[in-house]
Amino acid sequence: MVASIVSTGLAIGCIYALIGITYNVMFSASRVFSFTAGTLGMLGGVLGSLFIARLGMPVAVGFLLALAGGVLLGIVTEIVAVRPVLKSLDQHLYVLSTLALALMVQQFTAIEWGTEARPFPRLFDIARGGFDQQFWLPMLACAGVIVGLELLYRHTLIGRAFLAIAEDTYAARALGLPERSLRMASYALAGAIGALAGFAGGEMLLAFFGNGPMLTFYGFVPVALGGMGNNRGAVVAGLLLGLFQQTANFLVGGIFASVAVFTVFIIVLLARPEGLAGAAVQRRV
Amino acid sequence: MSLTRRQALKSAGAVIAASSLAKPAIAAKDPIPVGYLPALTGPSSSTGVGINRGIQLAVQEINAAGGIDGRQLELITRDTQSDPTKAVNGAAELTRGQKVSVVFGPVNSGESLAVVPLLARTNTPQIHPCWVDALTDPQKYPMCFRNAPTNQQIGSAANRYVMEVLKRKKVAVISDTTGYGTASVNAYAPMLKAKGAEVVYQGNVDAANPDLKPELLRMQSAGAEAIMPWSVNAGFLSRIINTRGQMGWDVPIVGQTTLGSGQTKDLLEKPEYWAKVYPNNFRPVCYAPGGKLSDRTSAFLDRLKSAKIDMGDTLLWWIALGYDSPRMIGEAMKNVGTEPDAIVGYLNKLKGFPGVYGDISFAADKHDGYPDDEVVMVEANSLKDGAFNLAPGYSA
Amino acid sequence: MDTPMIQVRPSRADALGATSTFGVALPFLVLLVVGIAFPLFGGGYWGVIATRACVYWVLVSGLNLVVGFAGQIAIGWVALLTLGAYTTSVLVAGNVTPELSPYLALAIAAVFGAIFGLIVGLPALRLRTFYFAITTLGFATIVTQVALAWQSVTGGGVGVAGPIFPRPFDSQWGFYYFCFGLAAICTWMTANIAASRFGRALTAIRDAEVAAEACGISKPALLGAVFLFSGAVAAVAGGLFASLQSYITPDAFTLDLSVLFFIAILIGGRSSILGPLLGTILLTVLPEFAAPLVAWSTFLYAVLLLVIVLAMPGGIAELLDFKNRRPLESGRAIVPRPELLTRLLAAPAEAGALTLEQVALAFGGVHAIDGLDLEIRSGQIHGLIGPNGSGKTTTLNVISGYYAQQSGTVRLNGTALPVLERHRRAHMRIARTFQTPRIVGSASVLQNVMIGGTIDGQGTFVESLLSLPRHRRDEAMLRDTAMLALAAVGLERLASVRADRLQHSELRFTEIARALMLRPAFLLLDEPAAGLSAEEIGRLGALVVAIARAGTGVLLVEHHADLIFDICHHVTVLNLGKNLAAGTPAEIRSHREVVNAYLGG
């Protein structure tokens, strides 16, 4: 029983954390949260199922194509919904434009892919065990992304440029960094991470269009609680969320679990609007 | 004609377009408009898509055979998108805008609950296949008929099978959180108790919950000897079946007909998990122990095959149900004309209309037309051409 | 509709926009007539659609104040519809209480809706935009989950029958007129708010929050009132929705519905009543014309939303705003009439002083101001100069309550000013302008100036809602004062022009007019001459001198040394947050260090 809660909770938590990182990577590059973060996760699952299960491609090819789909949506998000409204950040138009894009992708998927949950293929043909691939795949993906991002940010030039942009856009531009290309690259990276989340969690969440709004919400909880742009915070908060949700599922049953998660989310957020690990920012007049 | 969902949508659109353009050319007499309110898209659309194939076929056949006294049936379809709000708009348009003579559907209970009282106010005869008991009431809705079983009949058959054939006394009843699911659990648990069973687990679970293991573990630790799931959500049902398989728990699953749908099958981790799953079905569209269908049904199956209607992704009983509805109304119109009161008067005296799906009989004080005995349980893994073998324990 | 709604009566000196009350009310009158006569030419089916449009508008009208006016991105407002629908239905059905009359049930639903609207809305005071949007989505999910779970009351997933209103509202058209009547009342009430100091204050919170605070507008109180109202009408809409549906289950309250409400407002345009009204009608009716496309309707709404955001942020309202497309007169000059100031600032503030004693503030180790002493006396102009980063604007922000000093005191007539609490500065008659003008671009110049007098209104939110006499008196008083202020700064000819069409220099004078609305005892001007031509600087100087002569103490932060030396009584020179020098202009001009450092010898 406890083993089931822990394995499912951690696996789901890793998916939430990955979506949280997707939010963060976009945010770092543009100071913008995008409603397409969860949509990317949904798309990763649907594309994986489409390429591997329906079109019969090899797992590796399907995986790369699903990530490519995520990258594409990431770039489209940047071009269509973010870049045009960055000039007037204080009007918060990005909330509307990214919402519109997320709705479009979701409705398109609902109509072309169907509104039923469809199976996601088993990626490795190995026998099911207690600690199955549907649990360890999301964890592996999450660990991989964390390590990968650390290496990228610490040890590569482009990674340091990302950090510089996140730290201070104006200063970075003054240094001659190609801000626009870096932002585009960040969105592409975020797209890949989001799609990876959906792909790795495909067996658990199935290829289902309704996963989009669900992940958009639950994926934002780690961002809000872990602090904006704080990937480590997002992972810790994501894992806690997954465990909390599965425990609540078990203790109080399905309907009340989501009520419990939301209530905790609201209370924590109202008490600490900057997140559990974040610091208050002074407003400029 | 092989219909996918999208083609069905297009054809629905085409029917509307054709009706407005080609009206004068069709026949010397005006066509008879009949309304149809299925959910062809949206989350509960698989039933609607299946039923739609039968309805379209029946209307084509009736019209090809010369229609009703030379008048063509004009089927006006409004997709409800599984949304009660759209269903209400659609019902208003069909009755007040298009002035249809009769309405088929809606095919989902959530939509029917809203539409039935509205149609009652507009004096439009209605035939729907929704199971929720309250959806017929000869006093409140004198023009509304059901040519399908009630929840009561469905649940009784499943309960009877669990208790009398499988001889299980400790039962777990589970559903998703939809209207249909919760209503079923609320109705069936007391029925089981009344018959002397012990309901050791009763719950409504969010269908999107990826992990049902905690629920099944609770059932197991409560000593459940049978699981009775009530949901039309294939994802939810397959998770129950898969979890049972992963746990290696040898317990029969007896319940909703969707347990046997192709979509549920697609979501199973291993084909063998489908063993010992007994969904509801209906005797006239099932293979008898010898693997044979009844004459009436095999003739229907031949017609479906010659019309090239796809059976792979749907269930025979949905198509049969859809097919019977226009034929029953056509029968009434041939006999008494198209006036609402006349149609209702005819249906009130209908005795044993020979449907593929079952023999339908109504009375003035009984608008539930489906016979009790035809509701049976089947073996899920015997699915072939949309039909099943009767579950072990039924006689021929 | 007899609408005192748009009371921007043409100003006496209005040369550009010939707005008449009739012209503004005309579209509403047309809609009213069409609505009343609708049963004559609409079939029974269109009656259902028209009723639905009315029901949705009852909700959207209230949500419009939240989204369109206050700019709060409340996406999940369907939660309130659900709450109202269930409350009404359950009370009428008698599941928890004896069966109530539908009217009483609707009234109780309105009360519940108001309370819940406050609960859903209040996180907006603490959370950033995106966070708030997500929490409203969360509320929408939760309400549905509760409706599912609380089976004994709500019927769970099986649902509950909607209420049927008694005669004469039980027939199709009877019910239509009931909904239409409520929709008309909601239009009237929200239009009253839109044209009141509360409506203007909401747009100020949306577009220029800092300026709103400086004008004494209390965001919590105002948003609270709006959330109460918006929640109440949304719940009433829910009760009507349940009756129209005849039966409600949780699946009827989809997120798509929430998106529809939200998009109707944005298509309509911000700070407009007519636009969102047309948007609601459009989105309710459109799917009925395109039956084969119906599955794509949400997709098309989303496309529409994206197009609106990217290409036409003003929405329908801006399309219909013909008046503001006429070109403005070119080569226009700002000609202040300082003589009007004595009328505007009629009651000269009693003589006093605003003093800073040893005020210090550091940001992360950097001393922005470091032990600053300053005294601004009534009727005098005090100049504050210094290089960039010497702490001029920081000083101003400490006085007006945006920053809390770490030591030292700011006193007004001897009493210490509370630290922070910026919106209380206006009540103490301390007004200010901003380095970058903070204005509401979509509002007229007159409305922008009227925002400055918000705290002088006497009527309550409810009085404005119902357009009671006190509200009308407030509006007349504010409008007259604002016209006077505009005339004083020389902008009365532009009173009815959208503020975002003005030139930079005109915006500076608009801000001064807005600040004058407070009849300030002390006026803080943050680089008012930046971006002005030499001629304009001269007129600005004369205006500031006249303001001081009328009794107001002025703190003038400026780079233009000439202006400072021309008009100031005292000058303080800052360097690295400290007083470098202080004295009369003549003394400063001959101060050796100052001359060396800043005045270029």
Please enumerate in sequence order all residues whose Cβ is within 8 A of that of B218, keeping only pairs 6 or more positions apart, or say none: A250, B201
Domain CATH for A175: 1.10.3470
pLDDT category at B205 given cuts 50, 70, 90 is confident
pLDDT category at C344 given cuts 50, 70, 90 is confident
Please give the single-letter amino acid code of residue C506: E
pLDDT category at A75 given cuts 50, 70, 90 is very high
Share of residues in chain B with pLDDT > 70 (%): 92
From B42, B218, B235, residue closest to A117, measured CB to CB: B235
Q: What angle do CA B323, B110, B281 make, to 5 degrees?
A: 45
User: Which tens digit of pLDDT belongs to each residue from C454-464?
Assistant: 999 999 999 99
User: Which tens digit of pLDDT belongs to each residue from C489-502?
Assistant: 999 899 999 998 99
Q: What are phi and psi of B131, to 5 degrees?
A: -90, -20
Same domain, C500 and C396: no
| pLDDT at A180 (0 to 100) | 85
Indicate whether C520 pLDDT > 70.
yes
Same domain, C241 and C379: no
Same domain, C96 and C195: yes
Q: Tell me how many domains chain C contains.
A: 3
The answer for B288, left when phi > 0, alpha when psi is -120 to 50, beta otherwise, is: beta
A273 and C131 in contact by Cβ < 8 A? yes
Q: What angle do CA A132, A133, A138 make, to 5 degrees?
A: 120
User: Which tens digit of pLDDT belongs to each residue from A96-110?
Assistant: 899 999 999 999 998
The mean per-residue pLDDT over the stretch B184-202 comes to 92
Same domain, C495 and C547: no
C73 and A95 in contact by Cβ < 8 A? yes
Residues of chain A with Cβ-Cβ distance to C255 below 8 Å are: 213
| pLDDT at C445 (0 to 100) | 95
Indicate if ipTM > 0.90.
Answer: no
B43 and A119 in contact by Cβ < 8 A? no
Q: Answer yes or no: is A278 within a domain.
A: no
Q: Answer yes or no: is C319 within a domain.
A: no
Query: What is the full DSSP assignment across C451-462?
Result: HTTGGG--S-HH
CA distance B42 to chain A (A): 6
pLDDT category at C472 given cuts 50, 70, 90 is very high
Same domain, C558 and C500: no
B234 and A210 in contact by Cβ < 8 A? no
Q: What are phi and psi of C411, to 5 degrees?
A: -115, 140
From C130, C296, C434, residue closest to A33, measured CB to CB: C130
Which residues span the domain enclosing A196?
Answer: 2-122+135-271
Same domain, C572 and C590: yes
Same domain, C444 and C592: no
Say if A93 is an interface residue toward chain B (CB within 8 Å). Answer: no
Q: Give the residue from C497, C518, C539 where a domain finishes.
A: C518
CA distance C300 to chain A (A): 8
Q: Answer yes or no: is C267 within a domain.
A: no
C126 and A95 in contact by Cβ < 8 A? no
**Chain-centre distance for alpha carbon A234:** 10
> Using an 8 Å Cβ cutoff, are A163 and A34 in contact?
no
| pLDDT at C592 (0 to 100) | 82
pLDDT category at C598 given cuts 50, 70, 90 is low
> Using an 8 Å Cβ cutoff, are A257 and A265 in contact?
no
Indicate whether A92 pLDDT > 60.
yes
Closest chain A residue by Cα to residue C137: A217
Residues of chain C with Cβ-Cβ distance to A216 below 8 Å are: 134
Please enumerate in sequence order all residues whose Cβ is within 8 A of that of B295, keeping only pairs 6 or more positions apart, or say none: none
The mean per-residue pLDDT over the stretch A52-61 comes to 92
Q: Answer yes or no: is A227 within a domain.
A: yes
The mean per-residue pLDDT over the stretch A208-223 comes to 91
Which secondary structure element, helix H or strand E, spans residue C118, and what is its range? helix C102-121
Residue in A44, A37, A1 with CA at minimum distance from that of residue A16: A37
Domain CATH for C193: 1.10.3470
The residue written with tokens 């008067």 in the block is: B345
Q: Give the residue from C477, C494, C518 where a domain finishes.
A: C518
Say if A103 is an interface residue toward chain C (CB within 8 Å). Answer: yes
Q: Tell me how many domains chain A contains.
A: 1
CA dihedral C237, C239, C241, C247 (to 10 degrees): 170
Q: Answer yes or no: is C310 within a domain.
A: no
Q: Answer yes or no: is A72 within a domain.
A: yes
From A110, A208, A255, residue closest to B204, measured CB to CB: A255
| pLDDT at B11 (0 to 100) | 45
Residues of chain C with Cβ-Cβ distance to B16 below 8 Å are: 291-292
pLDDT category at A196 given cuts 50, 70, 90 is very high
Dist. CA B171–CA B228, nearest whole Å? 7
Task: Identify which of A69-73, C354-358, C551-555 has the greatest average pLDDT.
Answer: A69-73
Q: Answer yes or no: is C270 within a domain.
A: no
Same domain, C467 and C577: no
Residue in B359, B356, B361 with CA at minimum distance from that of residue B346: B361
Residue in C519, C432, C445 with CA at minimum distance from that of residue C483: C445
Please enumerate in sequence order all residues whose Cβ is within 8 A of that of B156, keeping only pairs 6 or more positions apart, or say none: B191, B372, B375
CA dihedral C440, C444, C447, C452 (to 10 degrees): 50
DSSP C352: -
- Bridge partner residues of C575 (DSSP): C578
Q: Answer yes or no: is A130 within a domain.
A: no
Closest chain A residue by Cα to residue B268: A119
**Chain-centre distance for alpha carbon C45:** 39
Share of residues in chain C with pLDDT > 70 (%): 94
Dist. CA B204–CA C148, nearest whole Å? 9
| pLDDT at C417 (0 to 100) | 87
DSSP B385: T
Strands (E), chain B: 32-36, 73-77, 102-104, 126-128, 144-146, 170-175, 198-204, 226-230, 253-255, 277-282, 353-354, 359-360, 375-384, 387-390
Which residues of chain C have a Cβ shorter than 8 Å from any chain A Cβ?
71, 73, 75, 123, 126-131, 133-135, 137-139, 141-142, 145-146, 148-149, 210, 255, 259, 266, 295-296, 298-299, 301-303, 305-306, 309-310, 313, 363, 393, 397, 402, 434
Indicate whether B207 pLDDT > 50.
yes
Please enumerate in sequence order all residues whose Cβ is within 8 A of that of B5, keeping only pairs 6 or more positions apart, or say none: A114, B40, B41, B45, B49
Indicate whether B314 pLDDT > 50.
yes
**Chain-centre distance for alpha carbon C194:** 9
B211 and A249 in contact by Cβ < 8 A? yes
Say if B93 is an interface residue toward chain C (CB within 8 Å). Answer: yes
Q: Long-range CB contacts (< 8 A, 24+ apart) of A138-141?
A: A138/A11, A138/A12, A138/A14, A138/A15, A138/A18, A138/A197, A138/A200, A138/A201, A138/A204, A139/A10, A139/A11, A139/A14, A140/A200, A141/A14, A141/A18, A141/A196, A141/A197, A141/A199, A141/A200
Neighbours of chain A (3+ CB pairs under 8 A): B, C
Q: Give the residue from C518, C545, C560 where a domain finishes.
A: C518
Neighbours of chain C (3+ CB pairs under 8 A): A, B
C43 and B96 in contact by Cβ < 8 A? yes
CA distances from A59 to A46, A141, C584 (A): 14, 15, 82
Same domain, C151 and C190: yes
| pLDDT at C333 (0 to 100) | 84
- Burial track A139-172 (b if 16+ CB lie within 10 A, e otherwise): bebbeebbeebeeebeeeeebebbebbbeebeeb
Judging by DSSP bridges, how do beta strands B375-384 and B277-282 pair with one another? antiparallel
Domain CATH for C400: 3.40.50.300
Q: Quick one: angle between helices A133-155 and A231-252, nearest 10?
A: 160
Residues of chain C with Cβ-Cβ distance to A97 below 8 Å are: 305-306, 309-310
pLDDT category at C7 given cuts 50, 70, 90 is very low
Dist. CA B352–CA B362, nearest whole Å? 8
Which residues span the domain enclosing C491?
Answer: 439-518
Please enumerate in sequence order all residues whose Cβ is within 8 A of that of B271, keeping only pairs 6 or more positions apart, or say none: B265, B381
| pLDDT at C291 (0 to 100) | 61
Say if A206 is an interface residue toward chain B (CB within 8 Å). Answer: yes
Locate B301 and state its tokens: 């199956």
Say if A285 is an interface residue toward chain C (CB within 8 Å). Answer: yes
Please give the single-letter amino acid code of residue A60: A
| pLDDT at C141 (0 to 100) | 86
Same domain, C107 and C251: yes
| pLDDT at A282 (0 to 100) | 44
Which secondary structure element, helix H or strand E, spans residue B295, and what is its range? helix B295-306
Same domain, C601 and C508: no
Q: Answer yes or no: is C311 within a domain.
A: no
The mean per-residue pLDDT over the stretch B102-113 comes to 89
| pLDDT at C347 (0 to 100) | 62
A104 and C306 in contact by Cβ < 8 A? yes
* Greater model confidence, B221 or C42: B221
Q: Answer yes or no: is A276 within a domain.
A: no
Which residues of chain B have a Cβ shorter than 8 Å from any chain A Cβ?
5, 41-43, 45-46, 82, 177, 203-206, 208-211, 213-215, 217-218, 233-235, 246, 263, 266-267, 269
Indicate whether B377 pLDDT > 70.
yes
From A1, A205, A253, residue closest to B210, measured CB to CB: A205
Q: What is the mean pLDDT of chain A?
A: 87
| pLDDT at B18 (0 to 100) | 41
Residues of chain B with Cβ-Cβ distance to A206 below 8 Å are: 210, 235, 267
CA distance B65 to chain C (A): 28
Share of residues in chain C with pLDDT > 90 (%): 56
Query: What is the full DSSP assignment across A95-157?
Result: HHHHHHHHHHHHHHHHHHT-SS-B----SS-----SS-HHHHHHHHHHHHHHHHHHHHHHH-H
Q: Answer yes or no: is C331 within a domain.
A: no
Q: What are phi and psi of C314, to 5 degrees?
A: -80, -15
Count CB pairs under 8 A between chains B and C.
113
User: Which tens digit of pLDDT belongs to each residue from C149-201?
Assistant: 888 888 877 788 899 999 889 888 999 999 999 999 999 999 999 999 999 99
CA distance C123 to chain A (A): 7
Dist. CA B79–CA C156, nearest whole Å? 25
Say if B203 is an interface residue toward chain C (CB within 8 Å). Answer: no
From B10, B84, B117, residue closest to C252, measured CB to CB: B84
| pLDDT at B19 (0 to 100) | 43
User: Which tens digit of pLDDT belongs to each residue from A118-138?
Assistant: 888 888 877 766 678 888 999
B83 and C256 in contact by Cβ < 8 A? yes
Measured on CA atoms in the order C582, C588, C590, C596, is the torsion positive or negative?
A: positive
CA distance B352 to chain C (A): 31
pLDDT category at C19 given cuts 50, 70, 90 is very low
* Greater model confidence, B59 or C388: B59
Indicate whether C9 pLDDT > 60.
no
Residue in A63, A58, A54 with CA at minimum distance from that of residue A114: A54
Same domain, C253 and C385: no
Count of residues making up chain A? 285
